[in-house]
Structure 1
């Protein structure tokens, strides 16, 4: 082999080792979880902070690791083909055969040294290796942020979770729950609650929030008595206060503060002076992360904004709790039936229900790639604002508008197309 070939071989070794280090850093970090990391006894040093950022953005980190190792693999393959491949081609009297053999040998070596071995090592010493290699993992994460953001936009949260696999801590909990169920030490209610806690980590805020059209809010110019009357009529204890429209929420007023102001003659009664500073969160934030943050900050309500900074909805601590324990109703709540069976193959449902929950509950196969709720799917399928009685086919399911309010679908009737051949095109 000439000096160029030896240099190429040395560079292949370096690239393979670099790929192994990236895989080791990724595997070790992803073996951890946010809660376990906090309980390991490590001081809040820089490595812990870096790992927390990576675990808070698991999908982006996972994609960046895949991209980094893939680039190194292709670079190694190109070098193997142009250096080692040429040398083997001379020995085999066939350049093509030499290139194929060189790449095949590289694939075997790479699979063992840069894939399998790092993952085994990471499983044995996850915490130690994750902290030692946190700077490398974090640098790789930052390098590919533009590309990972694109992938994050293209895939729904459910698809992201499917690609990267379950959280290791979630897997351990699920195994423990299954074992407890078999032994009879965990009842069905406990299983459901534990499952809901795990599922909360897969949901983003826009899936659990109160959407913008349902927000109960008042203008900054509203007299205090009228604002309190609105809160009483709608059965809420907190009201967002906006200036002009809901995209300009300037604060949150608590009914208790309003009543105290009315009872104290010397206290100002304008909403601006009574409103507390609002908390804004992105609609893409994971629900379990928000739940912990709201608990820590003793925050009960947050305004949800979309990528353009517009108000998309609001979320309360009660909304997040209901994702775990089910609907929380008091004597002032109006009982609602989100799913109502009308007859064989006919069901009326709340249009705000998540499609994934509805598919599981009714055994449907409605697409949930681009929208989160059944109402959003119906609007997308219609392509216009429908009227009561309009219907549209989505796969093997017919959606018929049962109730609409201010151009917004509130309830839909679901029919299986195979059981109802009389449903035709939308709007008939």
Structure 2
């Protein structure tokens, strides 16, 4: 029995080696890359090794791990079949049953390899993988560098196996490296909804990221009817007074009308004129060139362009070159993170009151925001984005105060008009 101890020790060592590779595979696939990058930037050498491994081709280190698992398992079974099967064979040869003693060698090999396979499966695969799932980061940091070195040492073998694998795929008409199992945006949104560890605000932020990628300038601009601007002949003093009254730090300057934008006046450029006693100077002396973009430009591109140019406001034009509205950097950021309010902002709620089953909302209120706050299901469309737009779409005419639209038991009534514009809408349940 003593002479078998070295062989048993070798078999246990190979099973342990199998466990190392199995746990490394799960840990490296499951570990959070962002966390590893943070640790690497802080100077953690183990994290740096893992980061290098993850940034490369995952197929290489996974192939290296598979080589390790296969070799360890094969050698463990082969060693057991050669060494441990012999004493077991001697036992079966002494059994007074002809069918047993005549097939003693085969029975011994089957029992030995089956036993080693079970031990390897439990302690070389299942248990270490469970451990790696529960302590992913620690296992990845512990084994990342050894796996990285093993991957480099077995690189020639990996290249050979990769070439053989790619050739086999081509024989079946498949292209190597093509992965059709991509996660779609809708699937990601469903993952966010099902993720119990995210609170409602975190879910909203993630959803807003998707919406931000889809929206164009027309969707988020301040419409022409709400644009605050001044004529070129307006004095610096009057312009500053208007800015103070409206809370704007920059406004468009136009010639004959808003379709003739001459530039943008900013408060930082106006104040020096006031300090020099030139408050009666025309504002056209102070304007900076306006950045003009079409209303179809994606807002993520628009945000990058504004940052690159170092400007805070863009003038949005329609297909005919007329002014459609304006967009500021603050407007774009609010689309992503929600409303940004500072001590100079005035309260400007879209939903003015909501009590006794009735709500008063501005016509400019977004359909999605009204649906979210009032828990309604007003249909959204590419043809309109506001409550006023929805009512106009339903009535197909310029409404007057008192006109109604009924939708699934909910009544939307025009409460206040200004010329042809819907200012206020009353929303209540149908009697």
TM-score, with normalisation over the residues of structure 2?
Answer: 0.53
1:313 aligned residue (325, 333, 339): 325
Q: Distance in 2 between matches of 1:122 and 1:289?
A: 31
Task: Please state how far the C-alpha of 1:267 moved relative to its aligned partner.
Answer: 10
2:226 matches 1:226: no
**Structure-2 separation of matches of 1:125 and 1:399:** 46
Counterpart pick for 1:283 among 265, 290, 295: 295
Work out whether residues 366 and 395 of structure 1, in 8 Å CA contact, stay in contact via their aligned partners in 2. Answer: no
Residues paired across the two proteins, number: 260
Structure 2 counterpart SS, 1:246: coil
The correspondence for 1:238, drawn from 239, 243, 250, is: 250
Match of 1:198 in 2: 210
Aligned to 2:399: 386
Give distance in 2, aligned partners of 1:307 and 1:204: 14
Corresponding residue number in structure 2 for 1:411: 424
**Residue 367 and residue 396 in structure 1: after superposition, are their counterparts in 2 closer, same or farther (change >3 A)?**
farther
Deviations 1:134-158 (A, max 9, x none): xxxxxxxxxxxxxxxxxxxxxxxxx
Inter-CA distance 326–367: structure 2 relative to 1 (3 Å threshold): closer
How far the C-alpha of 1:389 sits from its partner, in A, is: 2.7
Corresponding residue number in structure 1 for 2:60: none
- Whether the 8 Å contact between 1:201 and 1:289 is mirrored in structure 2 is no
What is residue 179 of structure 2 aligned with on the other side? 124
Asked if 1 retains the 8 angstrom alpha-carbon contact of 2:236 and 2:279, the reply is: no
Distance 1:175 1:117, change over 3 A: farther
Residue aligned with 2:370, SS: helix
Is 2:380 the counterpart of 1:374? no
In 1: Cα distance, 2:219 partner to 2:284 partner:
31
How far 1:369 moved relative to its partner? 4.1
Residue of 248, 256, 260 corresponding to 2:272 = 260
> For 1:256 and 1:211, how far apart are their aligned partners in 2?
25
Please report how far the alpha carbon of residue 178 of structure 1 lies from its aligned counterpart in structure 2 after TM superposition.
5.8
What's the offset of the Cα at 1:264? Answer: 3.0
Runs (5+) with no aligned partner, structure 2? 1-54, 57-171
RMSD (Å) for aligned C-alpha atoms: 3.3
Structure 2 vs 1, CA of residues 404 and 328 (structure 1 numbering), >3 Å: closer, same or farther? Answer: farther
From 188, 194, 210, the equivalent of 2:222 is: 210
Q: Residue 414 of structure 1 aligns to a residue in which SS?
A: strand
Structure-1 residue corresponding to 2:412 = 399
**1:236-255 Cα distance to aligned partner (Å, 9 max, x none):** 00010000000000100001
386 and 334 in structure 1: CA distance in 2 versus 1, 3 angstrom threshold: same
- Structure whose CA Rg is larger: 2
> Could you say what secondary structure the match of 1:413 adopts?
strand
Question: Is 368-377 or 350-359 further displaced after alignment?
Answer: 350-359
Q: Distance in 2 between matches of 1:222 and 1:337?
A: 30
Q: Is the 8 A contact 2:401 2:417 kept in 1?
A: yes
Shift of 1:201: 1.0
Q: How far does the alpha carbon of each residue in 1:318-368 deviate from its partner, in whole angstroms, 9 at most, with x for none?
A: 111111222222233222332332323x32222112224434542323352
**Offset of 1:309 from its aligned partner?**
1.0
Deviation at 1:382, TM superposition (A): 3.4
Structure 1: distance between partners of 2:378 and 2:202? 28
Q: Deviations over 1:184-240 (max 9, x none)?
A: 3x4432332222122111222111111111101000111111111111111100010
Q: For each residue in 1:104-149, what CA deviation from the matched residue of structure 2 results, as whole angstroms up to 9, or x when unmatched?
A: xxxxxxxxxxxx978x7674399xxxxxxxxxxxxxxxxxxxxxxx
Is residue 359–residue 366 contact of structure 1 (8 Å, CA) maintained in 2? no
Please give the secondary structure, in 2, of the residue aligned with 1:331: coil
Judged with a 3 Å threshold, the aligned counterparts in structure 2 of structure 1 residues 395 and 250 are, in CA distance, closer, same or farther, namely farther
2:293 is paired with a residue whose SS is: strand
Q: What are structure 1's unaligned runs of at least 5 residues?
A: 1-39, 42-115, 127-166, 421-428
Relative to 1, partners in 2 of residues 1:121 and 1:404: Cα closer, same or farther, differing over 3 Å? farther
| Mapping for residues 155-170 of structure 1, pairs under 5 Å | 170=185
CA distance in 2, matches of 1:311, 1:197: 28
2:367 maps to 355
- The normalised TM-score by structure 1 is 0.54
Per the TM alignment, residue 379 of structure 1 is displaced from its structure 2 partner at its CA by 2.5
Secondary structure of the 1:284 match is: coil
